[in-house]
Amino acid sequence: MTANIISGSLIFAAALLFGGLGGMLSERAGVINLGIEGFMISGAFFSAVGAYYAESAGLGGLSPFIGLLTAFICTAIFSGMHALATLKYKADHVISGVVINLLAANVTFFLVKLLFDGAAETPRLTNMFSKISIPFLSDVPIIGKALFRSYPTTYIAFAAVLLIGFVFFKTSLGLRLRGVGENPGSIDTAGINVMKIKFWAVMMSGSIASLGGATIVLTTNGNFSFNTIAGQGYIAIAAVILGRWNPYGVLSGALLFGFAQAIKDQIQILDFASSIPTEVFYMLPYLVTLLALIFTGRKTRAPKALGIHYDASVR
Amino acid sequence: MEQKRVEKVLELKHITKKFGNFVANDDVSLTVRRGEIHALLGENGAGKSTLMNVVFGMYQPEEGSISVYENETKIENPNHAIHLGIGMVHQHFKLIENFTVTENIIIGMEPKDGIRLNMKAAVKEVQNISEKYGLKVDPNSKIEDLPVGMQQKVEILKCLYRGANLLIFDEPTAVLTPDEIGELLQVMQKLVAEGKSIILITHKLNEIMKVADKCTIIRKGKYIATVDIKDSNKEELAEMMIGKNISREIDKEAYNPKQNVLEIKNLTMLSSSKKKVLNNINLTVAAGEIVGIAGVDGNGQMELAEAIIKMRDFEEGDILINGVSQKDKSTREIYESGVSYVPADRHKHGLVLENDIAENLILIEYYKEKYNQGIKLNKALMYEEARAAMKNYDVRAENEYTIVRGMSGGNQQKVILSREISRDPELLIIVQPTRGLDIGAIDFIHRQVVRLRDKGVAVLLISFELEEILTLSDRIDIIFDGQIVGQTKPTETNDRELGLMMAGKGSGDE
């Protein structure tokens, strides 16, 4: 059971990790991104559709990768809307994000009906990601199976943490990106195009978050319906805050919330749990999120220029 | 070598910059040579910053030319200016607080090692520059952990790292402690010894006398003179900065002060960085007199006004109104005890710009019984009073429903003045009452203030305009660096003496 919980934690954490990394990217560039939920919905939808058509075209085991790619590209365009609204048209970041969420939920629901003859969900995929074992490491007793036998998306998510961590802290691009979220005026006077950095950060933010939605569809769910994401985007944002806008912090936040979800599934199997309504267990991840935020709230420090429209003429 | 020494780093010829009908710079010329500290002296609003923004490429002048290294150039934008070797040390630092010193300096021009940032090389380069010019900072400290003086050094290093040969310092000592000022002046001397040139924007005469080689004076946008500091003195500079002909004609009744209304005792206030923004202030204002606080912007005037009405807390001392301590009172209680306040920033603190005239007129007393009928506002009374107020105070707008935002500054100020006077104060605190207004509005407001004083109101006038202080005040207190550094009367002083005290002569002399 321990192995199951650990392995489950990682799988749930992967989706939250993509969402969290995406959210962090945008927010470190100073743009609040509450649209993570919407981008994850978009990712789930496009991955289901992309993988389904790839499957129909006879691509077999390759089709989940096509799904992943479809989600990434299509959501980049979608998150371009958030970038345009907040950067070019100076819309309120929070409102734009909320609208993204509502739009994603309703448009995808409509498109599913349109594409699949009025069905409420996409057809079940036959080719999903399957777990792969890492040679030798997966043979270690207990933790081997728990840690080194998982879906490709889990590995991609963890690799993304390292990659983003490297870019953030070891390259000049990362230095500039972090600077933009703190004091764009300083970046501007150093001769760097502030808007360009912000725009790309928001685009990539949506794309990376979309992989979280795709992960859920292509590993555990097998198709897309209106409640596939069910608030995981918001939990991902909580992981960003809990992780203090740091990629490694986001990782620990995602692991904590992933653990809360995994334990929910495992506890239900135990004897004493039969007397407790299942709804209580379903509340668990959200309760853990709330508690975690309460206990760390005072110590968090958001990027200084977060949510502020940059206007070069107001120096 | 002789040739090098007379090299003109920057030459401004007959620069004129207008904003609409307002001429901010009127035919100003200035030449900065290699290895020279050139001071730019003028009062607030004299056009110093506009001129420097022209040099830094933020504004384009209507007339005149700019030459850099004896080549005529059109400076397109700040990036272009940086490229030409011009660096600006801003008054409000442009630093990223949770970045290290090195990160702040290199950002935008980072040394690289493949795709990685080469932090080691960056730290080394920063160390090299800081040693060369005697700007000691720890390259690995975070900005938020550094005192203001250190942060300023980082700003200077940022310019030097980008290859600046001409550094413009915009009021650099305004935020510094006396020790830090001494250190900064040394750094400036070191910089010019190494062949850099400096433009020092300031209105502090002591600093100019200490480090500058030349000084260009501008007044009300006009070029007055360029002098060699070694052939000049403070008195001469002050006179040129302020101008001789200040008229002060306004009809006043004989000076007849009664009991003290406002008494400030040993008032001390600290800023968030623990600097003394007000330092042991003692001050009284009696019924029937106008006490003017003369001083240059940023010497504690705002803090003083806001302490009296309790918008800011203070650390030590006490404020008494009619002999009663106001220490534990709220702002509303202070207003109710007969204090009216006309704030310096009418848009930020005086008005709700999106509301109409009548609504702005009851902004302070909206809660009073007469304006309320049950839970509803007494609109009939509000608008009726507003109509009367507009007539009495010559507020020119379509009607009492006019939204305040679209009105001229003079009319906006009249709305505030009418609100504050109609509350029948015993003490009026009035800050920068005529900033940005035309002559007609200024005259109207001055007459209203004098009328109140003749009626027996105690008036505390805080202004950066020397002319205004001299015209209205019965007594003058001079504030510098949070301290009252002198007291005088308009009949016993002259502009020159006042100008010197405002610039810190007496307290700034070591």
Listing DSSP states for B209-270 in one string gives: HHH-SEEEEEETTEEEEEEEGGG--HHHHHHHHH-S--------PPP---SEEEEEEEEEEE
At CB < 8 Å, which residues of chain B contact A? 78-79, 82, 94-99, 103-104, 107-110, 112, 115-117, 158
Kindly give, in sequence order, each residue whose CB lies less than 8 Å from that of residue A297, ignoring residues fewer than 6 positions away: none
Same domain, B327 and B461: yes
- Which of A170, A176, A185 has its CB closest to that of B107? A176
Same domain, B390 and B282: no
Residue A175: list chain B partners with CB under 8 A.
99, 103, 107, 110, 117
CA atoms within 13 A of residue B186's CA, in its CB half-sphere: 10
Question: Which of B375, B405, B423 finishes a domain?
Answer: B423
Low-confidence ranges of chain B (pLDDT < 50): 1-5, 245-248, 507-510
Same domain, B51 and B170: yes
Whether A48 is covered by a domain: the verdict is yes
Same domain, B207 and B77: yes
Whether B343 is covered by a domain: the verdict is no
Burial label for A156, CB within 10 Å (0-12, 13-18, 19+), is: middle
Domain that holds residue B92: 2-242
Same domain, B264 and B201: no
Whole-structure pTM value: 0.71
Domain that holds residue A212: 2-128+149-257
When scoring B56, B79, B107 by the number of chain A Cβ atoms within 10 A, the one with the most, hence best to mutate, is B107
Pairing of strands B290-294, B475-480: parallel
Inter-residue contact B105 to B186 (CB < 8 Å): no
Same domain, B25 and B136: yes
Same domain, B405 and B474: no
- Beta strand spans in B330-480 (E): 339-342, 372-373, 376-377, 427-431, 458-463, 475-480
| Residue with tokens 């080719």, as numbered in its chain | A127
Q: What is the DSSP letter of B367?
A: T
Rounded CA separation A232/A251 (Å): 15
Q: Do B99 and A179 touch (CB under 8 A)?
A: yes
CATH number for the domain harbouring residue B276 = 3.40.50.300
Q: Do B98 and A189 touch (CB under 8 A)?
A: no
Whether B344 is covered by a domain: the verdict is no
Rounded CA separation A120/B442 (Å): 72
Cα B403 to the chain's mean position, in Å?
29
Contacts within 8 Å (CB) and 24+ apart, B493-497 = B495/B238, B495/B239, B495/B242, B495/B243, B495/B244, B495/B246, B495/B466, B495/B470, B496/B235, B496/B238, B496/B239, B496/B242
Rounded CA separation B301/B478 (Å): 10
Residue A301: list chain B partners with CB under 8 A.
98
Taking every pair of Cα atoms in chain B, the longest distance, rounded to a whole number of angstroms, is 86
pLDDT value at position B439?
64
- The angle at the Cα of A133, spanning A128 to A135, to the nearest 5 degrees, equals 150
Nearest residue in chain B measured CA to CA from A186: B94
Question: Which of B176, B208, B242 finishes a domain?
Answer: B242
Per-residue pLDDT of chain A (315 residues; tens, 9 = 90+): 777 888 888 989 999 999 999 999 999 999 999 999 999 999 999 999 999 999 999 998 899 999 999 999 999 999 999 999 999 999 999 999 999 999 999 999 999 999 999 899 999 999 999 888 888 888 887 777 778 888 999 999 999 999 999 999 999 999 999 999 999 988 888 888 899 999 999 999 999 999 999 999 999 999 999 999 989 999 999 999 989 999 999 999 999 999 988 888 777 777 777 788 878 887 887 888 888 888 876 667 889 889 888 876 544
For residue B486, list its beta bridge partners: B478
Whether A85 is covered by a domain: the verdict is yes
Count of structural domains within chain B: 3
Question: Which of B207, B242, B277 finishes a domain?
Answer: B242
Count of structural domains within chain A: 1
Token duo for residue B481: 């660096």
Q: Do A186 and B95 touch (CB under 8 A)?
A: yes
Whether B487 is covered by a domain: the verdict is yes
